[in-house]
Amino acid sequence: MAILIVLTIQGWTGDFTNLFATFPSGSFGSFPLNVFSALGASGALPLYHGLEGLFLGGFSLIVLGLSIRSKKRSIILCAILALSAIFSAMIGGVLFVLSNFQNNAFSAQMGGSFIGAYAFYFMELYFTKTSQFCGEN
């Protein structure tokens, strides 16, 4: 449940950033430090959005570790697919910043990957709850 809450906040900050942030012009150079300087130049919310994305990457690894302990394939598969979606969103975000905020395909990659991660974590929650109610281990 906690990762769904954090993902929801990430979605809101991403939408707000997409609609209202003023992105700086010019090139920001190489990865990774310049990505955060570019986000910081855009304002506090885009910087927060990027840092929360890093947090979600780590959080997703923790969820995967806990899911593996369940030994139920549907739960593990959902965790792997959600983690993949989170990393796809992170890659899209970095590439969007490195494109000087110009390539909207990378922005769309973030949004689509967010929807995928959200769906897979809901499915994982469903499989976790149904296995508890059905007496499965």
pLDDT band for 23, please (50, 70, 90 cuts).
confident
pLDDT for 85: 98
Average pLDDT of the chain to the nearest whole number? 87
pLDDT for 38: 78
Structure tokens belonging to residue 131: 């296995």
Higher pLDDT, 31 or 3: 3
CA distance 62 to 65: 5
* Residue partners of 125: CB distance under 8 A and separation at least 6: 1, 4
Q: Domain-by-domain residue ranges, the chain?
A: 2-11+28-132
Structure tokens belonging to residue 111: 């949004």
CA distance 99 to 82: 25
Alpha helices in the chain (DSSP H): 2-20, 33-42, 44-70, 73-98, 104-133
pLDDT for 28: 63
pLDDT band for 25, please (50, 70, 90 cuts).
confident
Summarize pLDDT for 42-86 with one digit per residue, the tens: 888 888 999 999 999 999 999 999 999 988 999 999 999 999 999
Summarize pLDDT for 91-137 with one digit per residue, the tens: 999 899 888 888 999 999 999 999 999 999 999 999 988 765 555 55
Contact 68, 32 (CB under 8 A): no
Structure tokens belonging to residue 137: 């281990």
